[in-house]
Amino acid sequence: MPFDFTGSLAYNLYGIFLRRKGIAMKLYTSAQMRAVDEYNINTLGVPSLTLMERASAALAREAAALLDDGGSAAVICGTGNNGGDGIGAAAMLRERGYDARVFLVGDAARLKADPKAMLERYAAVGGVTERFRRDEDVVEFVNGCGVIIDALLGTGIDRPLSDEFRDAADMMNSSPAPIISADMPTGVSADTGEAFPGAVWAYMTVTFAGYKTGQFLHPGNIHCGRLVLDSIGAVIPDHIVSDVSSVDGFHLPRRRRDAHKGDFGRVLIIAGSVGYTGAASLAARAAVRAGAGLVELAVPKDIYVIEAVKNDEAMVSPLPCADGMTSPEARDVIARKLERCGVCLSGPGLGRSEGIAALVERVVTASRVPLVIDADGINALAGNINILKSAVCPIVLTPHDGEFARIRPGYDGTGRLAAATAFAVEYGVTLLLKGHRTVTALPDGRVYINTTGGPGMAKGGSGDVLSGVIAALTAQLNDAESAAFGGAYFHGLAGDICAGLYGEYAMTPSDIIENLYRAMR
């Protein structure tokens, strides 16, 4: 019998997520977190030592939970405030009866007032601070302990690790003990998620006051392991504004009881070519399943019969054809169709030619309804990307890294959030940069990082499904920007459900379509 995912705890938790409206957590940079500290200390009058004690208590709490009734903890500390958090956690663990040893990377003379106070508390319960060294005794203790607390660098890193820090990180990574990182794993940027060589792989990251952007971006999110937020009683003031949010839920409006198909939009999909009939069909089927009132799939006449057989619920119409692809002569037919639709999706399986490029450019300049441009539609714009600036309608582009590099020369797959944001602002479009932790950048500079989806979705056709979902949501919500990050959320959530039902190896893009209803309800 197949596993009934609908009855599982995970599926019921998905239902809880969707009953909450607009679940999005604000993410902050390291500079913003420093400003939060300054506000709480200087404006609200909270002693900095109090904030450190609360951070230490959060680390000690999570470490004790892993140690159960006994065991030892290795606390690897730097000389900054992050190290002070770790030293304080070691003191509190010793106060509870656990064996906790502090290994300090750097000179203890460099410790400032608050970490020194924690060091005194640690010494008061019999703790001896040891200078980090990778000798037999230390390695044996670290390998045999029940938990490691990584309190080396926190949120401040913006460059590769020095030799001593990298040596300490390597010793932690080599131990079988679970690692709890304080605020950020050592070697991972809090702003970009970049992991420098030798970065710590944490089992858990206890982060303080607010979530950091780098904890939600690849590969930082993987290095963080399980994320635990402790507010440490800090107040984030209104003047510290974050433009970056994670998407952890999406609210769909309840449909009126007297609604009809015209209330939920008409989607026009211009897609397909000889050899690429699947892309067009997947996009159309996804748009239907995602709730669009009417879906019209316009394809080259050479594949019209194939698409008509594949699609019962979408209206399939033929377009003039040349060399197995839609001909530029179709522009007048498409122009008339654009006048009748509420949103247009162009690109899945279109093929690549000068004629296709001319056709896509014509759609961009002629459309007065929102456009979703994917796959070959994006490739078609590569030679004339500035045409986006002349568009008079909302546009959503959905490239993966390879496609984005074609329209953004010099992009190498790194700095995804910054690159997507700069592009969206420059061209006045919504850019959904697909991949692990999909980034959706809006024209006004706001950014959303998606938290759903997994490696089982890394199959040809998954992107076509996503574009169909976004088009359908745009038609229903009349909001292309929300439809973009909401579509990514539902698409990934349906993928997560499929992984539970079929496993990551066996799931297909069609399975994602069939399970959209579970995600969306």
What string of H, E and C letters represents the secondary structure of 293-351? CEEEEEEEHHHHHHHHHHCCCCEEEEECEECCEECHHHHHHHHHHHHHCCEEEECCCCC
Delimiting residues of CATH 3.40.1190.20 domain(s) in the chain: 261-401+417-520
pLDDT for the residue numbered 503: 98
CATH of 261-401+417-520, one of 3.40.1280.10, 3.40.50.970, 3.40.1190.20, 2.40.50.110: 3.40.1190.20
**Can you say whether the dihedral through the CA atoms of 449, 451, 452, 453 is positive or negative?**
positive
pLDDT for the residue numbered 156: 81
pLDDT one-digit tens code per residue, 103-150: 999 999 999 999 999 999 999 999 999 999 999 999 999 999 999 999
**Can you say whether the dihedral through the CA atoms of 381, 385, 389, 394 is positive or negative?**
positive
Which residues fall within 8 angstroms of residue 364, CB to CB, at 6 or more apart? 371, 373, 381, 387, 388, 390, 391, 395
Q: For residues 280 and 346, is the Cβ–Cβ distance under 8 A? A: no
Whole-model pTM: value is: 0.92
CA-based nearest residue to 245, from 426, 425, 22: 22
* Residue type (1 letter), 17: F
> Does CATH number 3.40.190.10 belong to domain 28-242?
no
The average confidence (pLDDT) of the chain is: 94
Question: Where is pLDDT greater, at 423 or 6?
Answer: 423
Q: For residues 58 and 230, is the Cβ–Cβ distance under 8 A? A: yes
pLDDT for the residue numbered 483: 97
pLDDT one-digit tens code per residue, 368-414: 999 999 999 999 999 899 999 999 999 999 999 999 999 999 999 99
pLDDT for the residue numbered 11: 37
Delimiting residues of CATH 3.40.50.10260 domain(s) in the chain: 28-242
pLDDT (average), residues 79-86? 97
CA-based nearest residue to 267, from 484, 475, 486: 475
φ/ψ of 372, rounded to 5, equals -110, 120
